Structure 1
Amino acid sequence: MKLLVALEAHFYRTPDGRVWNDSVSDASFWQRYLNVFEEVLVVARVKQVETNDPKWKLSSGDNVEFWCLPDYQGPWQYLKQRRALQDEVKKAVKTCDAIMLRVPGAIGTLVWNVVKKTNKPYACEVVGDPWDSLAPGTVKSIARPLARVMTTWNLKRQCEQADGVSYVTEKTLQRRYPNRAAFYTHYSSIELHDIAYADSPRTEAPQGEVRIFNAGSMATLYKAQDVQIQALHKLRELGVNAKLVLAGDGVCRAQFEEVAASLEVSDNVEFLGLLPGAEAVRQELDRSDLFILPSRTEGLPRAVIEAMARGLPCVGTNVGGIPELLESDDLVPVEDAAALAERIAVMLQDAKLYTERSEQNWQKAKDYHANLLSERRTTFYTRLRRLAEQRTR
């Protein structure tokens, strides 16, 4: 049985036929599907390049094939290439027995529009919320308001009509995007193995200069690095000796650097760029005293769970699945740098609170161990396979 997986990530293909990416996991990511299906066909945008960047991860592997769609950027390029995209998607769907849509996204919607006219079963893995991710202030585009309405409407329909639905949150996304599916569940895309966990939580509050860490894409304003820098400025005004360390890269990085310069905190903000792998991320987490994620929108953030597994206290915003991870006192309003700075200061200055949150987060992260989530995912994929087998008889 062959499973088609449609997703929004951009990939890169070198002349030797290998496919790379700078966002999703490496080739091992597809193993979750290959545990149930013999073959996986990835339908995504793929750019042809001469050489791979050393920081990219190899995405292609055994029994994994890529159906390369044009690598368009943004809504206007999408509209120009929509007919070509539709033609390619139709061809891809014909070759597969079952379909998995990692939604929201334009690629998932293209595939959905084809699949719903066939008898082939499809399931959704809902990994985000377009109503929040396209809210005012998140994307600078005149097409944003329309895209927000249309993408939200599409996701609701996709979930309503799907044979199976899985959500990355336990409750949050389910409320906005209910399903009528024959089978549904929830699990995170994250896979934490034993190596991801610190041996024990932290037993002492930090002393001296405090290292505040964030890891997140700078391709958009979603992760609110600008708000983090503003909060750092306010912390230093409060007399907190803090340094903000930002991992990640993207087109918005220059904008964030300008914010730091305008607030005269450039010397206290370190831009690390893209980190080369999971071990490098763990090393940065272990060097840090606090993790923050004041996102404007979220699904269930992998970065927070990884930080919790290292025993780091965390502060985030009350959006998406973050409230399912953190205590309510550790949540602040979106866009509120003053509230973020205040909560950080409280966390750092209260040694008892600091160690309590370290223990709570470390324990909570164990709910996301690979062994626990793998069983749930495999059951979900198996239901989809059985349905495909029934319909092909």
Structure 2
Amino acid sequence: MRVVVTTESRFEMGPDGIPRCSSGTFDYRFWQRYLDTFERVTVVARCQQTRTISGSPVSGRGVTVWPLLNSHGAWGAVQNWRHWQATLAPLLREHSAWILRVPGQIGGALAGPLKRRGIPFAVEVVGDPATAFGRESFRHPLRPCIQWFFSRMLRSACSEAIAASYVTREFLQRHYPPNRRAFTTDYSSVALPPESFAARARSYSDRLVAPKIVSVATMSQRYKGQHHLIEAVYRCQQAGRRVELTLVGDGQYRHDLERQVARRQLGSQVRFAGQLSAGDQVRQELDRADLFVLASVGAEGLPRAIIEAQARGVPCIGT
């Protein structure tokens, strides 16, 4: 049997027609877990056409990608929804199991059509739109409406699903309760290969002269809190304490963060490493650091980045 899984991850499709994940987080290895139960996996995701080939392949033996027209933001999804419906129509007519990774525009919007067709589906709840679109993390004139809409969409999807998994033990379940008849569970979807683990724990015998801090997070939204980290480095500088910060990740708010660094004259203390492939490149940054900090202001369940840092033996601070 085939399972169709939706994701909010965006993939890049180069001249060879192979969808790739630039970060490596949701490449072929991630989707292989579904092959333990299902014969085939179809991943529904937005794909951006590119002229170059980069990143790790998403498709492979037993795993294919059903590409949707790329869009950015809630308004982009509204504009493309009719096109998405036409693209997804063949999938909805086939006999498949459905798993919606929510919250998100694709998974949330599909819950209604699946219900109307009498097609059962499960949800994997991996975040909280109420905090993702909170005042601290999202700037938009219609922010309260967008926050209400996506929170309501997630509650509806959870209440209609025949099975639900969460990345928290209690928090998300309280705010987005499952159907009383549904099978429910909680777990992290992070799978770490043996090379992810450090051979031994860290030891600190001396006072660090200039502690090296690293943060691994997307810059596509403000809720990851990198701007707070930059401000913290500035305050340390004002107090006569040098701290070096490396920010791993990329996104539309990177330029804002770079301007903040320039404004605070922290160019020698804050380094932008950009988007790195999951695996060796990220592990190298973690191994260089004395401390990992994730300054998120919301929307986190059990962050993959913290689990990966812990596997390298790096002390972690999270909000």
Q: TM-score range by the shorter chain?
A: over 0.9
- Tell me the residue number matched to 1:110: 109
- Tell me the residue number matched to 2:175: 176
Query: Which consecutive aligned stretches of 4+ in structure 1 deviate over 3 angstroms post-superposition?
Result: none
Indicate conservation of the 8 Å contact 2:158/2:178, yes or no. yes
Indicate conservation of the 8 Å contact 2:188/2:302, yes or no. yes
* Equivalence map 1:51-66=2 (5 Å): 51-53=52-54, 56-66=55-65
- Tell me the residue number matched to 1:299: 301
* Distance apart, 1:51 and its partner CA: 2.4
- Could you tell which deviates more after superposition, 62-71 or 28-37? 62-71
Q: When the two structures are aligned, how many residues end up with a matched partner?
A: 315
* Equivalence map 1:201-212=2 (5 Å): 201-205=201-205, 206-212=207-213
Amino acid at match of 1:182: A
Aligned equivalents of 2:238, 2:209: Cα separation in 1: 16
* Distance apart, 1:223 and its partner CA: 1.2
Aligned equivalents of 1:277, 1:83: Cα separation in 2: 34
The alignment-based identity, stated in percent, is: 38
Aligned equivalents of 2:10, 2:243: Cα separation in 1: 36
Unmatched segments (≥5 aa) in structure 1: 318-393
Indicate conservation of the 8 Å contact 1:232/1:244, yes or no. yes
TM-score by length of 1: 0.76
Aligned equivalents of 2:182, 2:224: Cα separation in 1: 35
- SS class of match (1:116): helix
Indicate conservation of the 8 Å contact 1:3/1:96, yes or no. no
* Distance apart, 1:289 and its partner CA: 0.6
More helix by share: 1
* Equivalence map 1:83-94=2 (5 Å): 83-94=82-93
Q: Deviations over 1:150-174 (max 9, x none)?
A: 1111111111111100011122211
- Tell me the residue number matched to 1:257: 258
Indicate conservation of the 8 Å contact 1:246/1:271, yes or no. yes
* Distance apart, 1:65 and its partner CA: 2.0
- Tell me the residue number matched to 1:313: 315
Q: Deviations over 1:89-140 (max 9, x none)?
A: 2322222421000000110022212111233321000010000000013222
- Tell me the residue number matched to 1:323: none
* Distance apart, 1:194 and its partner CA: 2.6
Indicate conservation of the 8 Å contact 1:89/1:111, yes or no. no
Indicate conservation of the 8 Å contact 2:287/2:312, yes or no. yes
- Tell me the residue number matched to 1:19: 19
Q: Deviations over 1:260-298 (max 9, x none)?
A: 121121211111111233112112111111111111222
- Tell me the residue number matched to 1:269: 270
Indicate conservation of the 8 Å contact 2:15/2:53, yes or no. no
Q: Deviations over 1:226-276 (max 9, x none)?
A: 110100111122232211111111221111111112112121111111123
* Distance apart, 1:186 and its partner CA: 0.9
Indicate conservation of the 8 Å contact 2:22/2:277, yes or no. no
Indicate conservation of the 8 Å contact 2:124/2:164, yes or no. yes
- Tell me the residue number matched to 1:3: 3
Aligned equivalents of 1:258, 1:14: Cα separation in 2: 31
Indicate conservation of the 8 Å contact 1:6/1:111, yes or no. no
Aligned equivalents of 1:293, 1:242: Cα separation in 2: 16
Indicate conservation of the 8 Å contact 1:75/1:143, yes or no. no
Aligned equivalents of 2:95, 2:276: Cα separation in 1: 36
**How large is the Cα RMSD of the aligned pairs?**
1.6
TM-score by length of 2: 0.93
Indicate conservation of the 8 Å contact 2:32/2:63, yes or no. no
* Equivalence map 1:89-238=2 (5 Å): 89-180=88-179, 181-205=181-205, 206-238=207-239
- SS class of match (1:270): strand
* Equivalence map 1:279-298=2 (5 Å): 279-297=280-298, 298=300
Aligned equivalents of 1:51, 1:262: Cα separation in 2: 34
* Distance apart, 1:214 and its partner CA: 0.7
Amino acid at match of 1:314: C
